[in-house]
Structure 1
Amino acid sequence: MPENVSYANCCEAGELAMRPDWPGTGCARPSGTARPLWEAPALSTVLIVTTAVDVVGNLLVILSVLRNRRLRNAGNLFLVSLASADLVVALYPYPLILVAIFHDGWALGEVHCKASGFVLGLSVIGSVFNITAIAINRYCYICHSMAYHRIYRHWHTAVYICLTWLLTLVALVPNFFVGSLEYDPRIYSCTFIQTASTQYTVAVVVIHFLLPIAVVSFCYLRIWVLVLQSHRKAKLETKLRLRPSDVRSFLTMFVVFVIFAICWAPLNCIGLAVAIDPEGIAPQVPEGLFVTSYYLAYFNSCLNAIVYGLLNQNFRREYKKIVSALWNPGHCFRDASKGSQSTGPQSQTPPVVNAQHPVQVDTL
């Protein structure tokens, strides 16, 4: 994670990390060698594409849920929270990182450095915790369907989302006591300095990545077992029957989780290894590998909206309507589901035990 695995004051003199307002030339690389000419254009291109897709995609997600009352259910409120976590990082830290790339160093002062590092951490940890909350929601919906409505009432869901962000803020507080938010010239970002506290860095990787991954893996493993059982014993009335829409809904969020794990695993593995043995491991980590891992993690923030559009027809349909509405601003915020006014919002009825009554999906 950006706040988890940045490296120590990279310059031997330590001046750049101590003075974020310096331009960053001279000791911008720990090795003392000049940057390849292609590196800055490549990194800026990746960041520009990520920022553009991030803003457009996550705004589409949020507007889709706001416009279509059939999408306004407990599960999708967590998607809006996740989209907000991905969106905020594109609105503040990413543009500042682009400025740092263009200036070949941090030129915006220490206040922006600390603030951008904080917002970056807020986005990343918020994404992790929201993905975990989504997995728990899906687990309760499919594996504990009888209690789902009692657990996820509308006001309960709002409380859970607020609790998720409160835990995110609490997780970031120690950074200010450790004094770990500084500028890392290799990735042009103000972020968490790993060697500020080895013990704290290990705790951050475990609590912010490994533990959530374990919880999400458990939830989705249980769901997979139930899905396989439902396919094998679909003819038995005492077993759960899942409609194709239920499986697609689950698969969408499973793919989001897998992509997140793939994008963040390299950086967290590097961070954990370096935290365990900073003097032995840190010099051996190729700078190219570290930078690539970091920008792969950045790139993850724009992928969720794409996954929804590719795998979920409800969001794909709503994306098209929103884009079409841009040509007619008067219809921009019209409810996209006119038919739902007569039939009411789509039921959030969770899976039922009787196979004669197929599941109605608490759909994405």
Structure 2
Amino acid sequence: LNIIWIIGKNKKVKYIGNIFVVSLSVADLVVALYPYPLALVAVFHNGWTMGSLHCQLSGFVMGLSVIGSVFNITAIAINRYCYICHSLRYDRLYSRRNTCLYLLLTWMLTALAIVPNFLVGSLKYDPRVFSCTFTQTASSSYTICVVLIHFLVPLGVVSFCYLRIWTLVIRVKGRVRPNPKRVADLRNFLTMFVVFVLFAVCWAPLNFIGLAVAVNPATVAPNVPEWLFVTSYFMAYFNSCLNAVVYGLLNQNFRQEYKQILRALCTPRALFTESSRYNTEAIKSKHSPAGTNNNQIKVNSALH
């Protein structure tokens, strides 16, 4: 929620590409509004007491959050790749209209990816995690498709994008004189790269368990230790809490905003003071998405 507030308020981070960061924050937030409270109720009652409708809805919302996060991280990587590696065409590729269409497409694919769960009947209550979630043993072929489409393919796309970016950064290192905007661009890239790495690390165990179960469900499923499944499950969903921490640690603008929010919580009047100050700064200096591409043009020029 803080990320959405900061991007909407601070002109320094309010540019069109960050709409995918806002979308990722929404995906992370959704799971905390409905499935998690129901899971807490299940913990207190030592079982599911909310009925099958809430079970299906909870599983659907949880899937919406998880797959939405995966696809938004992929969209962010593609955006960063185009911004840094194809800067001359970036403004045309990511005009305001096109970016909104890309965002809409991201969430349409997310919703489409969840629908098969209802056909297969894979959204069920799992007493090990006190949640209605995807059941890995519902269908071997479907579980393999889930791991492939929801994890391995996005992982491959994101890895390709960031590998190309790193390659370009290393090639032009020392050729292009550093400037504040270029340093800021590289820090933003580093932030999103760390978000991706944490995502891969947190989600890999659960997906590999699912893949192993799908390959040989009769043998593997009964032999998966409960502690291993529970640890991998909560490790995966804990990833939603890490993104905001990464933004605060690696991005100076977000870090400053976090400090201001904490001060505002202690002294509410500070919130209105800081808002007035940023409105004044916004009038004096507006951030232009096209302007941030000037250094990238230099990067491309240095390569030719």
How does the TM-score come out when normalised to structure 2?
0.91
CA distance in 2, matches of 1:242, 1:343: 14
**Residue number in structure 1 paired with 2:280:** 338
1:236-292 deviations in whole A, cap 9, x for unaligned?
xxxxx9832222111100000000000000000000010011011112211110000
Q: Select which of 130, 152, 161 maps to 1:188.
A: 130
**Residue number in structure 1 paired with 2:87:** 145
Q: Select which of 99, 105, 119 maps to 1:177.
A: 119
Is 1:205 the counterpart of 2:147? The answer is: yes
SS of 1:147's equivalent in the other structure is: helix
Superposed displacement of residue 72, structure 1: 1.6
Report if the CA contact (8 A) 1:67-1:334 is conserved: no
CA distance in 2, matches of 1:234, 1:168: 40
**Residue number in structure 2 paired with 1:352:** 296
Q: How many residues align?
A: 296
Higher relative contact order (CA 8 A, sep 6+): 1
SS of 2:47's equivalent in the other structure is: coil
CA distance in 1, matches of 2:279, 2:175: 35
1:299-335 deviations in whole A, cap 9, x for unaligned?
1111001100000001111222233344126458557
Superposed displacement of residue 346, structure 1: 4.2
Q: Which has the higher helix share?
A: 2
Superposed displacement of residue 297, structure 1: 0.8
- After TM superposition, the structure 1 stretch with the greater mean CA deviation from structure 2, 169-178 or 324-333, is 324-333
**Residue number in structure 2 paired with 1:266:** 205
Question: Do the aligned partners of residues 332 and 100 (structure 1) sit closer, same or farther apart at CA in structure 2, a change above 3 Å counting?
Answer: farther
Report if the CA contact (8 A) 2:202-2:236 is conserved: yes
**Residue number in structure 1 paired with 2:167:** 225
SS of 1:70's equivalent in the other structure is: coil
**Residue number in structure 2 paired with 1:154:** 96
Over the matched positions of the two proteins, sequence identity in percent amounts to 60
CA distance in 2, matches of 1:111, 1:335: 48
**Residue number in structure 1 paired with 2:227:** 288
Report if the CA contact (8 A) 1:267-1:290 is conserved: yes
SS of 1:173's equivalent in the other structure is: helix
RMSD: 2.2
CA distance in 2, matches of 1:314, 1:140: 23
Report if the CA contact (8 A) 2:12-2:287 is conserved: yes
CA distance in 1, matches of 2:49, 2:274: 40
- After TM superposition, the structure 1 stretch with the greater mean CA deviation from structure 2, 279-288 or 143-152, is 279-288
Question: Do the aligned partners of residues 113 and 317 (structure 1) sit closer, same or farther apart at CA in structure 2, a change above 3 Å counting?
Answer: same
Superposed displacement of residue 337, structure 1: 5.1
CA distance in 2, matches of 1:180, 1:99: 22
1:150-207 deviations in whole A, cap 9, x for unaligned?
0111121111111101100000011111111110111111011222211111001100
Gaps of 5+ in 2: none
CA distance in 1, matches of 2:192, 2:221: 35
**Residue number in structure 1 paired with 2:59:** 117
SS of 2:173's equivalent in the other structure is: helix
Q: Select which of 275, 295, 309 maps to 2:214.
A: 275
Q: Select which of 78, 88, 105 maps to 1:163.
A: 105
- After TM superposition, the structure 1 stretch with the greater mean CA deviation from structure 2, 204-213 or 178-187, is 178-187
CA distance in 1, matches of 2:276, 2:39: 37
- AA aligned to 1:354 is K
CA distance in 2, matches of 1:261, 1:249: 19
> What is the correspondence of 1:71-150 to structure 2 with a 5 Å cutoff?
71-150=13-92
Q: Which structure is larger by alpha-carbon Rg, 1 or 2?
A: 1
**Residue number in structure 2 paired with 1:302:** 241
1:78-117 deviations in whole A, cap 9, x for unaligned?
1000000000101110111111111111111111111100
Report if the CA contact (8 A) 2:151-2:207 is conserved: yes
CA distance in 2, matches of 1:332, 1:243: 27
Q: Select which of 184, 194, 200 maps to 1:255.
A: 194
> What is the correspondence of 1:17-32 to structure 2 with a 5 Å cutoff?
none
Report if the CA contact (8 A) 1:69-1:335 is conserved: no
Gaps of 5+ in 1: 1-58, 236-240, 359-364
